[in-house]
Each structure stands twice: as structure tokens, then as C-alpha cells.
A and B are shown apart, each in its own frame.
Chain A
């Protein structure tokens, strides 16, 4: 079967004769469309479209033919078909019956307006989000208080399940990162301190920075990327599937079923993870000191006792549940804010990680100021 073709010629009594033939279908319309559009508009001579040699006509091809005739008639000219089989006739009629322009995209404002629009929306959005976070915090606390009053309502199985996922399963990556950071700190610190002959103080450097700041901060960031995003994506997909709506109609509180187990799981496990990170960081530092600086583990531990007070340890640990609460809360909230499209799941997941890390660092700074003020 031949590809679709179109020949322009002169018909009887000065009419423009357009001969169409071959396959007038979706596969061929791109070419035929160009050909038809490039036809000289001509004078007002009547136009005849001859379909005698068309082997196949589908809606796309019929649309082109119909459009050509319609345009000519709209200009006040004459245009007609010849060589129509009944099937082509019906096809053309069907196309004519369905000729209505449709909107393709929501209307788009001009560029400048669009930019201003985006800035404005972004600003309002930030305020809106802060408001929602505070409202959500309230809801969460109410729900938490309810659970404290009726501990039997706590969903233990999901709690343990999430503890395993966010806590236990994160051990390898958290441990590895802390270990490496301990190694790096020891190495970098040693090269600087060696110049003053004070390399023994590298133990103080490692102990204080790992215990007070680095271990917990790194753990929180890893967990925000790992579990905060997972919370958002899980809850968000449920929103897309209308599962959360279904839950509400069944009298289940999504707060209690979805949010609380996740928040509690993270609040319980993040301090444990942080402790593990502390140990791995120190271990990494100790190995490096031993290998590169000839500070034996025994000496390292001895210096360690002198270098830190229990508070150095507690300053880090106290922050863990707060960070956990923030990460989990943001993760769940962003998940519930998903609208019913796949794209929105991705958007909210990104937002959840970014906001989670941002809040963790802001709160960490606030803790630093607080601890400085109380003098520990």
C-alpha cells in the first residue's frame, strides 16, 4: 500500500483539483499537513478534492481534508469532495460533527506576570507552610496526649516495624559515615596540631566535635534523607490512591494510624542511632590516632576521660529526640499535603528532605546558643 500523497492540478472550468491518494492515516499526516498548509491560497477558484485513489482514511487524515475544505469555505470560496465512498463520507461527517476547539493547557499569563505570580505564590506558600507546620504540631501533640492517656490505642506492630526500618536498617550507613568522619577529623586535626607539637590534643578535638555536634548532626541529616523522604513518599502515595480518605471514612484517624507510629519510632531510635554514631566516630578517630600518630588506644582512652565531661556527651544526645521529632513531623506533614498526582509526590518528598534538614540545622543553632548561655 502506498504512502499518502497529494497532487495539485487544474480541474475542469478552472477549478483547483486536489488529488489525494494512498494512505491518509496518522502515520502520514505530518507530511500531508505540511503539504496542505503550503498550498498557495490561490484566487477564489472553486476547489475540488478528489479522494478516488485514497486507500485508507482515518480520523487524522479525514481531519486534514475536512479542515482544508472548511478553511476554503470560510474564505468565501467553493470547495467540494469527489470520489467519496460511503465509508469516507461517514468518516468525514464524523469529523465534522466533532469539530470543536479544545483547551490544551491551562491559560498561561505573560512572562513578567508569571514571574511576579511565582514570587508572590512562593512567599505566601512559605507563610502557609509555617502555619500548617504549627497546626500540625498541635494536632500531633493532641494525638500524642490522647495516646498517653489511653496507651492501649498505640499501634505497637507498626511502631516496631518502623523502628526497624528507620533505626535498625540505618545502622550500617550511619556507622560507616561516622567512622569515616572520625578518621578524617583525626587526620586533619593531627596535621594542624603537629605544627605546634600538640598532636596529643587531637583526642580533645575528636571527642568534643564528634560528641557535641558532628555525630548527631550527620545522623539527623542521613535520617532526614533516608526516612523523612520515605515517610513522605509512603503517605503521599496513599493520598494519591485515596487510601487516606478511605481511612477517614472508616473512622480511622490518619494521625493515629500513620503519623504517630512513625514519629514515635524515629524519636525512640534516633538517640540510639546517635549513640552508635558517637561510638563509631570515636572508634574511627582512635584507629587513625593509633595508625598515623602512634597514640595507642590505651593512651587515647586516658586522654578521652580527661578531655570530656559527661555533659559533652549529653549535649549531643539531648538534641536527638528533638531532631527526630522535627524530621518525622515534616515527613508526615508533607506526605499528607500531596495532591492527587504522581508529580506532587516527588515535589513533596524533595520539600520534606530540604525542610527537614533546614529545621534540624536551625534548631541545632538554637541549642548551641542555649548551651552557651547556660555554660555547658
Chain B
């Protein structure tokens, strides 16, 4: 089922700009099928913009973006629709439809794309609500009645509604309590293992990066400066990377990693 060879996302020579402000210049990135890729970078380096560009919400100024082997910018409306059913997106602040309850939000893609009957929709919505760790009564609440963390979980549930092959997450664990964040990491990991899900995750959560990311891409100087597994990041000499992965918060996140040899780093990610 998992074809290792061809990447699920391929970005080549991407350039994005707003007016004269260039955000990405000649950026290349490949995301492999079935991996969890973490995107890190300073605030304002264009992580969210990269995500939006890949899913076709921003038009790139130059370059080529392929998802599932399909050119996103050149897709016909039908092709786009097919693409959209194969990926799920969790926006930085949830982006739930405010006039619908949480359960109805989750049901939107099932109703629009698959025409599922109401009863089945309700059942699956309930399942997704439980999966992301929301209490049952949250289903009938409106987004304005939820806490920030709950909104995020609801947004995740909606992005998982169609059991996509690929999900884009923009800072999914920001705003969750540590236990919730750890559960969330595990949920992502589990889905990835069971469904062959590919995850494109913008995150600043060092615990997530350690716990679940197969590879990490560092966005700096308008391009992907380094990409590789955690071990590479820890070894890298670039000052920003040293600061990021060896700063005070980083040390707290990875005490047991620093002792063993590199082989042991893999084991901690369960």
C-alpha cells in the first residue's frame, strides 16, 4: 500500500510574495508518503503561508507544487475537488463555521462530498468527536461556546471527517494542555500508522517534534534550510538550530535523548 518512491507532496522552486515582500524564494520540499513531517521556523518565516500555498489558497509567484502527483495550481475544478477530498486541513485557529454546531461542522464534508445519510453522519461525527477527545455534549455546542483548545480539537475532527490520506496541521498542539497535547500526538501517530496517513505539521511544540515527527524541515532564509530526522537537527551547527533544539525549553523536552547514541533516539518515538 505504501509506495516509498514517489513523494506525496513535491514543491519545486517555489516563490511566494505579497506585494514586494518575498516570503519564499526558490524553495524545494518533498514530503514522503506515510511520514509525519514537522515544519519549524521563526515566527513570520512563512510556515502558514507555505501551508496555504500548498493547498492552493495562495497563488505562488513561481514554482511548481504537486500533491498526489497532481499540479495544484493547474488543476481543473473537478481535479481540485478530488484533491480536497483526499486531504484535511486544520487551520491555526480552528476556522470552524460559527453558525453550525461542532457535530454539524464535522458533518459538512460528509454531506457535501459523499451525500451520506443523516444517521450515518451522526454516528461518524460522534466517533470523531470521541477520537479527538471531546466530551459528547460538546457536539451540540457552537464554536463560540468552546474554549480555544476545544475549538482546535473540533477543527481536527473536521479535518479527519473523510479519513483523508494527507492532513495539514497548523500548530495543532498550541493551546492544548500538556496531557491533551500528548494525547493528540499519540492520536496523530496512531492514525498515521493505521491509515498510512501523511502528516504535514507546522509546530513549535518540541515535545511533538521529538515524539512523533519522522523528519523536520527548518524554514529559514526564505527556503527549507535543513530537512532530516531529529538526530540531524541536534547535530547541526547552525546557530538558530542550536538555539532552537538546545535552548532551555529544548533541554526540558528531551532529557533522556542526550545520553544514548543516535540509535536510541529512534526508540523514544513510540
Within 8 A of A (CB), among B178-223: 190, 193-195
Q: Judge whether A120 is part of the interface by a CB distance below 8 angstroms.
A: no
Residues of chain B with a CB closer than 8 A to A59's CB: 124, 127-128, 131, 160, 163, 195
Least CB distance from A321 to B in Å reads: 37
A99–B114 CB distance below 8 A: no
A341-B99 CB under 8 A given contacts A29-B116, A100-B126, A102-B125? yes
Total count of chain B residues near the partner, CB < 8 A: 41
Listed residue (B127, B140, B143, B144) with the most chain A CB atoms within 10 angstroms of its CB: B127
A103–B124 CB distance below 8 A: no
A67-B98 CB under 8 A given contacts A101-B136, A102-B138, A104-B103? no
A342–B127 CB distance below 8 A: no
B99–A101 CB distance below 8 A: no
> Chain B: which residue is nearest A67 at the CB level?
B123
Within the complex, which residue of B99, B120, B138, B190 is in contact with A29, where a contact is CB–CB below 8 Å? B120
Residues of chain B with a CB closer than 8 A to A339's CB: 144
Q: Judge whether A199 is part of the interface by a CB distance below 8 angstroms.
A: no
Within 8 A of B (CB), among A334-348: 339-343
Least CB distance from A26 to B in Å reads: 5
A98–B98 CB distance below 8 A: no
Total count of chain A residues near the partner, CB < 8 A: 36
Q: Judge whether B5 is part of the interface by a CB distance below 8 angstroms.
A: no
Residues of chain A with a CB closer than 8 A to B126's CB: 100-102, 104
Q: What CA separation (Å) do A128 and B103 show in the bound complex?
A: 32
Residues of chain A with a CB closer than 8 A to B122's CB: 102, 104
Within 8 A of A (CB), among B110-155: 110, 114-117, 120, 122-131, 134, 136-140, 142-144
Q: Judge whether A169 is part of the interface by a CB distance below 8 angstroms.
A: no
> Chain B: which residue is nearest A34 at the CB level?
B117
Residues of chain A with a CB closer than 8 A to B23's CB: none
A87–B131 CB distance below 8 A: no
> Chain A: which residue is nearest B131 at the CB level?
A98
Within the complex, which residue of B101, B114, B134 is in contact with A105, where a contact is CB–CB below 8 Å? B101
B131–A30 CB distance below 8 A: no
Within 8 A of B (CB), among A43-83: 55-56, 58-60, 63, 67
B115–A30 CB distance below 8 A: yes
Which of the 9-residue segments A88-96, A272-280, A294-302 touches chain B?
A: A88-96
Listed residue (A33, A87, A99, A341) with the most chain B CB atoms within 10 angstroms of its CB: A341
Residues of chain A with a CB closer than 8 A to B110's CB: 26
B98–A90 CB distance below 8 A: no
Q: Judge whether B3 is part of the interface by a CB distance below 8 angstroms.
A: no
A341–B142 CB distance below 8 A: yes
14 A–B contact pairs at CB < 8 A? A27-B85, A29-B114, A30-B116, A33-B116, A58-B163, A59-B127, A59-B160, A100-B126, A100-B129, A102-B126, A102-B138, A102-B139, A105-B140, A341-B143
**What are the 9 closest A-B residue pairs judged by CB atoms, nearest first?**
A103-B140, A102-B139, A98-B130, A58-B163, A341-B98, A102-B126, A340-B144, A343-B99, A104-B103
Binding site for A on B (CB under 8 A): 1, 85, 98-99, 101, 103-104, 107, 110, 114-117, 120, 122-131, 134, 136-140, 142-144, 160-163, 190, 193-195
